[in-house]
Chains A and B, each alone.
Chain A
Amino acid sequence: MSSIQYHQDIDGIVTLTIDMPGQSANTMNTVFRADYAATVERLQADCDKITGVIITSAKKTFFAGGDLNSLLAVQPSEKAALFERAQSMKATMRQLERLGKPVVAAINGSALGGGFELCLACHARFALNDPSIALGLPEVGLGLLPGGGGIVRMVRLLGLESAMPYLLEGTTFSPDKAKTLGLVNDTATDAEELMRLAREWIKANPEACQPWDRKGWRLPGATELAPASLPFLRTAPVQLMKKTRGCYPAPMAIFSAAVEGAVVDFDTASTIESRHFVGLATGPVAKNLITTFFFQMNEIKSDKGRPTGVPTKRFSRVGVLGAGMMGAGIAHVNAMRGITTVLKDVTPEQAAKGKSHSEKLLAKRIARGSMTEARRDEVLKAIVPTAEAADLNSCELIIEAVFENRELKARVTAEAEPQLAQGGIFASNTSTLPITGLAQASANPERFIGLHFFSPVDRMPLVEVIKGQKTSPETLANALDYVKQIGKTPIVVNDSRGFFTSRVFGTFTKEGAAMLGEGVPAALIENAALSVGMPVGPLAVMDETSMALSLSVKRQTEADLAAEGKTMAHHPGWDVIKRMAEGLNRPGRAGGGGYYEYPEGEPKHLWSGLAAEFGKPGVDVPLEDLRDRILYIQAIEAIRIMQEGVIECARDANIGSVLGIGFPRWTGGVLQYVNMVGLPAFAQRATELAQRYGERFAPPALLLEMAQRGERFA
């Protein structure tokens, strides 16, 4: 029993201290499962000699949860074995729960997933009252479900209706909140009190048994006829479908297991939960989510893409040029993290207007009660609006966020750069213009980099970090440190027109326009996009981002390419965009309307003229093709980008596509989606789509080569 220390005191209380060797945190792996089962067998054998059991941890955290490496590896052919494994772990937990002696969890650190399930299988729970301790069942976020009895016990403790948010959304909570919920009996100020509470409870409850094992127990919230109120049972699944469009199997499985489990006895409910768990763990969506949002995200968090050997830099003073929406947003996130930010615009009024953006955001927080006025004042004090370049002095980083115009950018760069502190770096927030070109305006192009933020900056978690040809490794390391300091997630890309996110996103919107041009009804286009999990339809997006603007960017690109003696491939979407923006004078929302109409005080609706303008009788593009086109065109662009060397690893493409441009999370991102489909199958389908809808779908050489070699995007 190397991972669980067994110690019995003179009162007969056995303390089990979980301390897995060679790991910084306790996890539910083979070693633990075996030790736990053996420990419970020992308790069973010693049952007459013990008065109770306390489970606690020797680590900083109580228990981290499931072993994701093994869950990622498990294959559909191993379903039966996984089912048996889950059932056997649960049998052990059940055995302990029915030992006939009080079992108490002394939660002295975070207990998540399987760790919290261990606690739920105890008769009482006490936790350290430390707000940094997180408790809960976050499995759903990785496409899994709490398969260690978490659903069954949460439902039986709280009732279906009250338990569902913690299961479906995976919301974690502090010990204090857990006490309010009735999930822990009490909290303790320190470890000593924690153990004392556990002991006292054992002494006071010598014949402890779970509520659901008591005669006459009834499920909280159940009615005579049903496990919860009928309005809840009827509407909550519908609300879930509305939210997920059926793209996410985990919340659906959780809901099913919870409700099915609520109408049968505990052990049957537990078996039902295991069956759903096995389906999820061996299915593709969990693999996608675990790959991207656990492993790849951890790589980013642990600085995998950061050049080594460069000392970590902390930023205390940052300059932002341009107090428009982006500049003001960047200043806001800086200030929230305590970074003094000089916000410069052409006039003091414009600069002040940028600061007022923060005032509005903070006022909302105060109204919600999530911020104090003192804290607000502190944040606002960190933003220094100005019209004077001299005020940028000694900034460690200056980010320009002015209009997408090369001359303008060159001018502000030249003006501001001399103010940088010694060793400071300069960044452009451009979303499309190549960084190498912009860096020509810099006296130190090796200290020039792209930091592409997304709008609204305070809510969008991604920053696309673009290396120019001359950007030095130190500059990249510094930029990544900054992104981390402001709590955002960076992806690293090499320089290219549109970089990664804008290029991929452009294929999505243009594909929508192309579909309209083919005569596909607008509503069908929008709904096809929503049905695969895109947050917004392509036509709605184009209205928001302005077609006039995309046209001008496109023309600039054409001109640039022409100067290099190149031409731009024709894309049918442009014909539609041009007709909308210029022929019909419907350039988008800001221009008074686009694909949609925006009646004052009413919800927007599709423009009634679309059918007459673009509709074609007899057009019948299968929905399956529309759905695939939306995902494939973006994935194919990502492969091309990788082929060009702009993206070097799949994690940047995956994380960037989901966090930056709303590529559906269930896919695990653009390249993980290709992995999921399988490279050969993806190439074959792409070829079919190319035959039907245009060469832009033709599988890139990189895809074909990797498929040939049996490789995956990593």
Chain B
Amino acid sequence: MNEAFIFDTLRTPRGKGRPDGRLHEVNPVDLLAGLMQALQKRQSLDTAEVEDALIGCVMPVGEQSGCIAKTAALRAGWDWQVPGVQLDRYCGSGIEAVNIAAAKIRSGWESLIVAGGVESMSRVAMGGTPGPRDTKPEMVFQLKPVPTGVAADLLATLDGHSREDVDAYALRSQQRAARARANGYFAKSLVPVTDTNGITLLDEDELIRADSSMEKLGTLKPSFQAMGEIGGFDVLALMKYPQLERIRHVHTGGNSSGIVDGASLLLLGTEDKGRELGLTPRARIVSVAAVGTEPTLMLAGPAPASRLALKKAGLSIDDIDLIEVNEAFSSVVLRFISEMKVDPEKVNVNGGAIAMGHPLGATGGMLIGTLLDELERRQLRRGLVTACVAGGMGIATIIERV
């Protein structure tokens, strides 16, 4: 069997996902195409060798519609022999793109693939089009879906995490991200976004608040209280979790992932193909996993997904040196740490989406790149990336430096 190797990891900086964000003026096709051009340039890549482009995108409508993977490859001036596919596993899309790439490579059917994701949340708003799960009455009655924020509050309530707990975690994310940015830990994967004149629009993550504090975080209003209490979703959640008296709405804009624009791209392939093209393998994909979890709580997937990936690899959590758990909400990471009994000092060591933002489809690819860069910097061996996924899913990938 062929091992699937990672040759390169690239990402854009994350720009504030609002009209005054620095990447708002770049349409999502160009965001992704820019990374493709950068990859081609820095690896002197003959793009005709790339057998597929797997791109996660969670809102594939409007400017992100029409198989953005293929459109971006053409826009980047890549060889037209490269096909592309857009895929959606909600917040797990970017990791899923890498996992499918690994599976294709290990099957022997393909030997060089790019995988990643793109999301311009300032241009195509999250939830901007109605999904059946949330808007078809029959499904609402049957499935009792709640918004992710209410689910995050439910998770915190179940785990007994207070507002202070989740804010403390958020502050840690800000401080770690600020330190990593200042020390250039992101530099290896980070590709500045430029315009067609070569003028830089953004060269580092825009959202990080280095001056954040518990006081500042404490002043923020809960983001999901109104929709939970007035919107009725709390009742829906309590129908599933009758052991609770009420949902405590602890999540705010400060301890939830930020809305941002960005893209990520990884180059993966077989050892032989790498040798043929002069590409240096940096890591191999050890194992991958995706699981379903209880759909109303929705966000408890990282631990079970990680356990499954570890089991497939014949490893235990103690064999993992560094972990990236997508910081969709503080409570998601706190649940993972307690459930997996893992040293918090191994988790999200350079901050995460709370500080830097979560460009839905692009996040997974960004996390894998950040993890690999940090493993290399610290001269460590194995890493795990995992994310909670809407609808009640979890996803995980284990990588190992070579």
Judging by beta carbons under 8 Å apart, are B196 and A263 in contact? no
Judging by beta carbons under 8 Å apart, are A275 and B196 in contact? yes
**Residue from B24, B27, B123, B199 within 8 A of A79 (CB atoms):** B199
Instruction: Decide yes or no whether B379 CB sits under 8 A from chain A.
Output: no
Question: From residue A91, how far is it (CB to closest CB) to chain B in Å?
Answer: 14
Question: From residue A256, how far is it (CB to closest CB) to chain B in Å?
Answer: 10
Contacting residues, chain B, for A272 (C-beta < 8 A): 25
Cα-based distance from A272 to B63 in the complex (angstroms): 16
Judging by beta carbons under 8 Å apart, are B25 and A278 in contact? no
Judging by beta carbons under 8 Å apart, are B197 and A264 in contact? no
Judging by beta carbons under 8 Å apart, are B19 and A263 in contact? no
Q: Which residue of A lies closest to B30 (CB)?
A: A260
| Interface members, chain A 62-94 (any B CB < 8 Å) | 79-80, 83
Instruction: Decide yes or no whether A291 CB sits under 8 A from chain B.
Output: no
Judging by beta carbons under 8 Å apart, are B63 and A263 in contact? yes
Question: From residue A295, how far is it (CB to closest CB) to chain B in Å?
Answer: 25
Instruction: Decide yes or no whether A282 CB sits under 8 A from chain B.
Output: yes
Judging by beta carbons under 8 Å apart, are B199 and A265 in contact? no
Judging by beta carbons under 8 Å apart, are A282 and B19 in contact? no
Q: Known interface pairs A225-B62, A268-B24, A272-B25. Does A278 touch B197 (Cβ–Cβ under 8 Å)?
A: yes
Contacting residues, chain A, for B199 (C-beta < 8 A): 79-80, 83, 275, 278
Cα-based distance from A10 to B20 in the complex (angstroms): 40
Judging by beta carbons under 8 Å apart, are A275 and B19 in contact? no
Q: Which residue of A lies closest to B63 (CB)?
A: A263
Judging by beta carbons under 8 Å apart, are B25 and A268 in contact? yes
Instruction: Decide yes or no whether B319 CB sits under 8 A from chain A.
Output: no
Question: From residue B125, how far is it (CB to closest CB) to chain A in Å?
Answer: 13
Type the 1/0 row for B195-232, where 1 means its CB is closer than 8 Å to any CB of A.
11111000000000000000000000000000000000
Judging by beta carbons under 8 Å apart, are B19 and A268 in contact? yes
Question: From residue A284, how far is it (CB to closest CB) to chain B in Å?
Answer: 14
Q: Which residue of B lies closest to A272 (CB)?
A: B25
Judging by beta carbons under 8 Å apart, are A275 and B63 in contact? no
Contacting residues, chain B, for A278 (C-beta < 8 A): 197, 199
Type the 1/0 row for B25-58, where 1 means its CB is closer than 8 Å to any CB of A.
1010000000000000000000000000000000
Judging by beta carbons under 8 Å apart, are A275 and B197 in contact? yes
Contacting residues, chain B, for A265 (C-beta < 8 A): 19, 24
Judging by beta carbons under 8 Å apart, are A79 and B197 in contact? yes
Judging by beta carbons under 8 Å apart, are A275 and B24 in contact? no
Instruction: Decide yes or no whether A573 CB sits under 8 A from chain B.
Output: no
Question: From residue B314, how far is it (CB to closest CB) to chain A in Å?
Answer: 50
Cα-based distance from A83 to B195 in the complex (angstroms): 11
Q: Which residue of B lies closest to A260 (CB)?
A: B27
Cα-based distance from A537 to B309 in the complex (angstroms): 65
- Interface size of A as a range: 10 to 19
Contacting residues, chain B, for A275 (C-beta < 8 A): 25, 195-197, 199
**Residue from B24, B25, B197 within 8 A of A83 (CB atoms):** B197
Instruction: Decide yes or no whether A279 CB sits under 8 A from chain B.
Output: yes
| Interface members, chain A 621-651 (any B CB < 8 Å) | none
Judging by beta carbons under 8 Å apart, are B25 and A271 in contact? yes
Cα-based distance from A148 to B19 in the complex (angstroms): 20
Q: Which residue of A lies closest to B196 (CB)?
A: A279
Question: From residue A98, how far is it (CB to closest CB) to chain B in Å?
Answer: 15
Q: Which residue of B lies closest to A261 (CB)?
A: B25
Judging by beta carbons under 8 Å apart, are A264 and B195 in contact? no
**Residue from A79, A225, A268 within 8 A of B198 (CB atoms):** A79
Q: Which residue of B lies closest to A283 (CB)?
A: B197
Cα-based distance from A275 to B199 in the complex (angstroms): 9
Cα-based distance from A268 to B27 in the complex (angstroms): 12
Cα-based distance from A358 to B381 in the complex (angstroms): 89
Question: From residue B159, how far is it (CB to closest CB) to chain A in Å?
Answer: 40
Q: Which residue of A lies closest to B65 (CB)?
A: A225
Question: From residue B152, how far is it (CB to closest CB) to chain A in Å?
Answer: 30
Cα-based distance from A264 to B63 in the complex (angstroms): 12
Question: From residue B178, how far is it (CB to closest CB) to chain A in Å?
Answer: 27
Q: Which residue of B lies closest to A278 (CB)?
A: B197
Q: Which residue of B lies closest to A277 (CB)?
A: B197
Cα-based distance from A225 to B25 in the complex (angstroms): 18
Q: Which residue of A lies closest to B24 (CB)?
A: A268
Q: Which residue of B lies closest to A82 (CB)?
A: B197
Contacting residues, chain A, for B63 (C-beta < 8 A): 263
Contacting residues, chain A, for B27 (C-beta < 8 A): 260
Type the 1/0 row for B1-41, where 1 means its CB is closer than 8 Å to any CB of A.
00000000000000000011000110100000000000000
Question: From residue A713, how far is it (CB to closest CB) to chain B in Å?
Answer: 28
| Interface members, chain A 433-453 (any B CB < 8 Å) | none
| Interface members, chain A 273-315 (any B CB < 8 Å) | 275-276, 278-279, 282
Interface centre among B20, B24, B198, B199 (most CB of A within 10 A): B199
Question: From residue B355, how far is it (CB to closest CB) to chain A in Å?
Answer: 24
| Interface members, chain A 234-280 (any B CB < 8 Å) | 260, 263-265, 267-268, 271-272, 275-276, 278-279
Cα-based distance from A278 to B194 in the complex (angstroms): 13
Cα-based distance from A80 to B199 in the complex (angstroms): 6
Contacting residues, chain A, for B197 (C-beta < 8 A): 79-80, 83, 275, 278-279, 282
Contacting residues, chain B, for A264 (C-beta < 8 A): 19, 24-25, 123
Contacting residues, chain B, for A260 (C-beta < 8 A): 25, 27
Question: From residue A252, how far is it (CB to closest CB) to chain B in Å?
Answer: 12
Question: From residue A29, how far is it (CB to closest CB) to chain B in Å?
Answer: 22
Question: From residue A103, how far is it (CB to closest CB) to chain B in Å?
Answer: 24
Contacting residues, chain B, for A276 (C-beta < 8 A): 196
Q: Which residue of B lies closest to A225 (CB)?
A: B62
Cα-based distance from A80 to B201 in the complex (angstroms): 11
Q: Which residue of A lies closest to B19 (CB)?
A: A265
Cα-based distance from A264 to B21 in the complex (angstroms): 11
Question: From residue B61, how far is it (CB to closest CB) to chain A in Å?
Answer: 9
Question: From residue B17, how far is it (CB to closest CB) to chain A in Å?
Answer: 13
Interface centre among B20, B196, B197, B199 (most CB of A within 10 A): B197
| Interface members, chain A 163-197 (any B CB < 8 Å) | none
Q: Which residue of B lies closest to A269 (CB)?
A: B25
Cα-based distance from A79 to B196 in the complex (angstroms): 11
Contacting residues, chain A, for B24 (C-beta < 8 A): 264-265, 268
Cα-based distance from A282 to B198 in the complex (angstroms): 12
Question: From residue B163, how far is it (CB to closest CB) to chain A in Å?
Answer: 34
Contacting residues, chain B, for A268 (C-beta < 8 A): 19, 24-25
Cα-based distance from A37 to B169 in the complex (angstroms): 47
Contacting residues, chain A, for B196 (C-beta < 8 A): 275-276, 279
Question: From residue B280, how far is it (CB to closest CB) to chain A in Å?
Answer: 34
| Interface members, chain B 339-396 (any A CB < 8 Å) | none
Cα-based distance from A346 to B62 in the complex (angstroms): 71
Cα-based distance from A83 to B123 in the complex (angstroms): 24
| Interface members, chain A 643-684 (any B CB < 8 Å) | none
Contacting residues, chain B, for A80 (C-beta < 8 A): 197, 199
Question: From residue A617, how far is it (CB to closest CB) to chain B in Å?
Answer: 28
Cα-based distance from A256 to B304 in the complex (angstroms): 47
Interface centre among A225, A268, A278 (most CB of B within 10 A): A268
| Interface members, chain B 115-144 (any A CB < 8 Å) | 123
Question: From residue A82, how far is it (CB to closest CB) to chain B in Å?
Answer: 9
Cα-based distance from A660 to B198 in the complex (angstroms): 38
Contacting residues, chain B, for A282 (C-beta < 8 A): 197
Contacting residues, chain A, for B20 (C-beta < 8 A): 267
Question: From residue A230, how far is it (CB to closest CB) to chain B in Å?
Answer: 12
Q: Which residue of B lies closest to A253 (CB)?
A: B196
Cα-based distance from A279 to B195 in the complex (angstroms): 10
Cα-based distance from A272 to B19 in the complex (angstroms): 13
Judging by beta carbons under 8 Å apart, are B198 and A263 in contact? no
Question: From residue B29, how far is it (CB to closest CB) to chain A in Å?
Answer: 11
Query: What 3 pairs across the A-B complex have the smallest Cβ distances?
Result: A265-B19, A79-B197, A275-B195
**Further pairs besides A276-B196, A278-B199: 18, Cβ < 8 Å:** A79-B197, A83-B197, A83-B199, A225-B62, A260-B25, A263-B123, A264-B19, A265-B19, A265-B24, A268-B19, A268-B24, A268-B25, A272-B25, A275-B25, A275-B195, A275-B196, A275-B197, A279-B196
Which A residues lie at the B interface, using CB under 8 A? Answer: 79-80, 83, 225, 260, 263-265, 267-268, 271-272, 275-276, 278-279, 282
Query: Would you give 6 A-B contacts (Cβ < 8 Å), ordered by A?
Result: A79-B198, A83-B199, A225-B62, A268-B24, A271-B25, A275-B25
